[in-house]
Amino acid sequence: MCTNAHRQFNYDFLNATIRPMISHIRVFWLIGVLCILTAIPTHAGLGYARVPITRGSNVPSIPTSYEGLVRAPEFPTDLDWINTASPLRIGDLKGKFVLLDFWTYCCINCMHVLPDLKRLEAKYPNELVVIGVHSAKFSNEKDSSAIQNAVRRYQIDHPVVNDRSFQVWSSYGVKAWPTTVLINPNGYIISQDSGEKVFDPIDKALAAAIPYFADKGQLNGQVKRKTMATVTASALSFPGKISADPSRHRLIVSDTNHHRILIMDPTGRVLSVIGSGRRGYEDGSFTTASFAHPQGTVVVGTKIYVADTENHAIRVIDITKKTVTTLAGTGEQARTFNVPGSGTTVALNSPWDIAFVKGALYVAMAGSHQIWVINTDTQSARPYAGSGREGLQDGPLTVAMLAQPSGLATDGKDIFVADSEVSGIRKVGISDVPFVETIIGHGLFDFGDKDGAVSAAQLQHALGLSMTKTALYVADSYNHKIKQITLEKGQIKTIAGTGKSGLADGKSTHALFNEPGGLCVLDGLIYVADTNNHAIRRLNQTKGTVESITVKIPASAPARSIDGVTVLRLPLQVISDGPVHLTFGFSLPKGLHLNTAAPNAIQLGGTSPSIMADATAIAANWPSIRTSPPHYMLIDDTQPVFGEWEFEITLYTCTDDKGTCNLSRLIVNIPYQVTATGSRTAKVTIPIN
């Protein structure tokens, strides 16, 4: 896992970058190592105290241990920051505990730490400030816009600094992802550790240390207001995977950050929305069941199997019965390795993709760096390939090493694996003498963008695979390309994408993608889940073109939710060009009324750039929402022929009998079309539950 295998990176980085920059490096390096080992605070950029609070240990009983031995190094002033209005300094956070989380967004172990960080922030909102230090493994991850997309995708709401040159990493002596560093209210390091399961040790440390500093009057209880990276509501949100159902001529889309699965036709018309849109782990009907960031899917007869990644489960969609059930998984991440089981009692670890071969399901278990096999009749699940250690090593199934497998494809005889952390393509045999072998890949820190013979080819964190009789197609995610492998010839070539991130249709050689995560082939056309573009793209190899598909969600689709914010899509409005008088009305359940004294609000969020340009001026002229609905708002702007208004609405409703009030937060999307005979007025009614 990242904690073990990625330790080597610290030394690779020193060899490649730091050492050539310093004269007499051997002497300085030995001094630095000596300082680290003896915990001598020689300089802000050298050494740190190995603290008494470590994983599995008790909280220190001696209060002076909370004072720390080494002052936390300050952040360099030239770094980019996300989720904060201005750069942060350790010195400006005096009076707060600061928890640094060293991570890189490709790393599955780093993803596993994020829920613990949210729990800690919620438990200690006045005492603790969490800061993510993003020290990238892959070159694509050094880009601040790519990190911002990851922050949005993982729904991180604490500040994140882009440590692209490993300045912060080096100054704290970090050696592995993920690593957490706890700093006391006076700016001294009191703990540092690597690995997952950070909640318990940090919780114990804070529970004991907070009273100690409070008694000394050294805590600052002022709440720091957050500035979070926003996510604009759209039909799709970071779609991770897409698969084909050839017998029904359908596409199955994992609408990952909307926590749902979509069944649609090749034109983009959505036929079924599966999941309430609210993150959860409930079985039930299509409208009541819930998922948590689902990824890969596979169709078997009338069932769709789903890798429900953050529920650590395999779910089953019955197309005929219109139900969702659980095949395997407890709903929580496995904390031990290589423990088989069955049904809802077996613990899984971040299943990322899924394939059906010879009557069994094979699962890319990204969190344990393995391929698992599940019997769909008995629901028994067990490790199939991979020792559980992260790396690139071929050999017999239990000896071979994989590295965060994230995509699967099959020719019916073997399984092909997008082994993301080694930027590789591996083959796992299902024959009488099963074996793991490497098609593309060289090691954990070997990546690039090189076509040609597969023996010398390079990818960068490839996540998706799809297979036909003649070729294997690859979503080369961090190179923003689609590639084709001809196995018989042992060759790989780019068939779409330039290597730069963006969104552009047209000739495949000029088309732009942004970290595509999955792809499939249907009727000779390649469909791509273009994750960071929130889009489905269609690649026609014969014509050499790429086009974006407009995903059309039916108006009857259930409301979805983004972190407690309900998202509604209302029917199309046909309007004329120019000023439009928009009337809002609210449909309230019986017994509820709008609290006109509360700070109700309607704010333009807009997906139309022309509206966004005048949002501030328009908002200033909108009347207060402190009166009863309906509310009238004038949008004075030239609209595109097709577009969508987006509003963020906050309403306080109260019961008539007891006066109990509820807060409703909504994002409302209103699609519109401009015609010569359209209306100058538009009326919408928003249901409030």
- Look at 231 and 80; give whichever has higher pLDDT: 80
pLDDT at site 59: 34
Domain with CATH 3.40.30.10 in the chain: 2-215
Alpha-carbon gap, residue 321 to 303, rounded angstroms:
10
When pLDDT is cut at 50, 70 and 90, the band that residue 58 belongs to is very low
3-class SS at 295? Answer: coil
**Least confident segment among 464-478, 514-528, 654-668:** 654-668
Query: Which has the closest alpha carbon to 661: 580, 604, 596, 568?
Result: 596
Mean pLDDT within 131-135: 98
Whether residue 660 has pLDDT greater than 80: no
Mean pLDDT within 245-272: 95
pLDDT in tens, 106-130: 999 999 999 999 999 989 989 999 9
Mean pLDDT within 432-451: 95
When pLDDT is cut at 50, 70 and 90, the band that residue 650 belongs to is confident
Mean pLDDT within 455-461: 98
When pLDDT is cut at 50, 70 and 90, the band that residue 29 belongs to is very low
Phi, psi of 375, deg, nearest 5: -85, 115
Sole residue written with tokens 């196995």: 487
DSSP 303-342: EEEEEEGGGTEEEEEETTTTEEEEEE--SS--SSSS--EE
pLDDT in tens, 326-385: 999 999 999 898 999 999 999 999 999 999 999 999 999 999 999 999 999 999 999 999
Mean pLDDT within 419-442: 95
DSSP secondary structure code for residue 17 in this structure: I
Percentage of the chain modeled with pLDDT above 70: 80
pLDDT at site 674: 77
Whether residue 653 has pLDDT greater than 90: no
pLDDT at site 493: 98
80: exposed, middle or buried (C-beta count within 10 Å: 0-12, 13-18, 19+)? middle
Query: Which has the closest alpha carbon to 317: 345, 294, 351, 338?
Result: 294
pLDDT at site 592: 78
When pLDDT is cut at 50, 70 and 90, the band that residue 40 belongs to is very low
Sole residue written with tokens 């699965």: 261
Query: For the packed helices 199-215 and 108-123, what is the interaxial angle rounded to 10 degrees?
Result: 30
Pick the CATH number of 2-215 from 3.30.70.1110, 3.40.30.10, 3.40.1160.10, 3.90.850.10: 3.40.30.10
Domain with CATH 2.120.10.30 in the chain: 242-334+346-549
User: Can you name the residues that pair with 88 across neighbouring β-strands?
Assistant: none
Whether residue 573 has pLDDT greater than 60: yes
Q: Yes or no: say if 202 and 124 are a contact pair by the CB < 8 Å rule.
A: no
When pLDDT is cut at 50, 70 and 90, the band that residue 16 belongs to is very low
Burial 404-432 (b: 16+ CB within 10 A, else e): bbbbbbbeeebbbbbbbbbbbbbbbbbee
pLDDT at site 686: 82
Burial 358-380 (b: 16+ CB within 10 A, else e): eeebbbbbbbbbbbbbbebeebb
Phi, psi of 244, deg, nearest 5: -110, 145
- Phi-psi domain of 395 (left: phi exceeds 0; alpha: psi -120 through 50; beta: other): left
Q: How many residues are there in the chain?
A: 689
**Least confident segment among 202-206, 382-386, 462-466, 585-589:** 585-589
CATH T-level topology, domain 242-334+346-549: Neuraminidase (2.120.10)
CA-to-CA separations, 293 to 259, 551, 554, in angstroms, rounded: 5, 19, 21
Mean pLDDT within 592-621: 52
Contacts of 69 (CB under 8 A, 6+ apart): 39, 41, 49, 188, 189
Q: How much is the pTM?
A: 0.76
pLDDT at site 618: 37
Alpha-carbon gap, residue 201 to 179, rounded angstroms:
13
Q: Yes or no: say if 447 and 487 are a contact pair by the CB < 8 Å rule.
A: no
DSSP 509-539: TT-BBS---EEEEETTEEEEEEGGGTEEEEE
Whether residue 536 has pLDDT greater than 50: yes
Percentage of the chain modeled with pLDDT above 90: 65
3-class SS at 217? Answer: coil
Mean pLDDT within 555-583: 70
User: Can you name the residues that pair with 667 across neighbouring β-strands?
Assistant: 567, 648
pLDDT at site 135: 98
pLDDT at site 222: 74
User: Can you name the residues that pair with 351 across neighbouring β-strands?
Assistant: 365
Mean pLDDT within 459-486: 97
Query: Which has the closest alpha carbon to 551: 292, 234, 313?
Result: 234
Whether residue 299 has pLDDT greater than 90: yes
- Residue 538 is encoded by which pair of tokens? 């269609």
When pLDDT is cut at 50, 70 and 90, the band that residue 577 belongs to is confident
Rg (CA), the chain: 26
- Mean predicted lDDT score pLDDT of the chain: 83
pLDDT in tens, 608-641: 433 333 333 333 334 444 444 445 555 544 444 6
